[in-house]
Amino acid sequence: MKESDKPAQIGLRLKIRDGQIIEAEHLVARNLNPGNLAHLQAPRPGLLATVPVAQRVPREQMLKIGASYYTALVSGNGDAAPFADDCLRRENGMQTNGNPPVPGRGAIGATGAMSCHDQINTGIFNYIKRIEPRRVEIADVETGLVFGLSQFRHPMEEKTLKLVGVPGIETTPMNFNPFDLPAAHIFKISGGKIHEIEAMGFVMPYNSKTGWEQ
């Protein structure tokens, strides 16, 4: 969408009861990178595709699979979530895995070429110490889509991350101040595995309130 003629990405949740809206929640990501806007012009075809009946899983299982993504990130364990081999993730329009290797960009260029599963196993996300709250309550069996809202907490106490399985790179600097990242994620699930991840979020002060504590 546009806000004051500038591009913005929006995550929106509505709660309906008896035909009336009783809750409305939205996240707005501003200052989007112009180089990533091409990925936000239209939904990815995979997100819109109907899941074949034989590949559908029950709603409750879908919710557990979506929630397992956050567990995989915090634990640094790619096996904690059922990632498909073709899993691709985009964040605010930027593809953050499955890219061609980028020489000269260090750990970001190297891990950005990996699968969802292998990238997490390197430890590149070990600066994410907490993801709370994690609200994964919306799923559609026919489309295989799960919608999650969360708050990433980054104390940034470690200024260097140790990496595993990244050729030629054993550590990467993390010289950032503590921060939070309110985020919305859409997971495409088929055959019990995560095939696509569409995420959006923005930076907030560390340990910010979500507005839904009560």
pTM above 0.85, yes or no: yes
Using the 8-state DSSP alphabet, how is residue 51 labeled?
Answer: P
What is the per-residue pLDDT for 112?
Answer: 95
CA–CA separation, 72 and 78 (whole Å):
6
The per-residue pLDDT of the chain, averaged, comes to 96
Taking residues 200-213, report their average pLDDT.
Answer: 95
Of 179, 178, 198, nearest to 188 by C-alpha is 198
CA terminus-to-terminus distance, the chain: 30
Using the 8-state DSSP alphabet, how is residue 76 labeled?
Answer: T
Q: At 117, which helix (H) or strand (E)?
A: helix 116-121
Quick: pLDDT tens for 98-121: 999 877 788 989 999 999 999 999
Distant-in-sequence, close-in-space partners of 116: CB < 8 Å, separation ≥ 6? 78, 83, 87, 88, 89, 97, 98, 194, 197
CA–CA separation, 52 and 56 (whole Å):
7
Confidence of residue 214 (pLDDT cuts 50, 70, 90): confident
Give the CA distances from residue 90 to residues 40, 43, 99, 102, in Å, rounded to whole numbers and listed in that order: 10, 12, 11, 17
CB 87 within 8 A of CB 120: no
Domain coordinates in residue numbering, the chain: 50-201
CA–CA separation, 173 and 58 (whole Å):
42
Quick: pLDDT tens for 128-178: 999 999 999 999 999 999 999 999 999 999 999 999 999 999 999 999 999
CATH architecture of 50-201: Roll (3.10)
Give residue for tokens 């929630």. 67
At 92 the three-state DSSP class reads coil
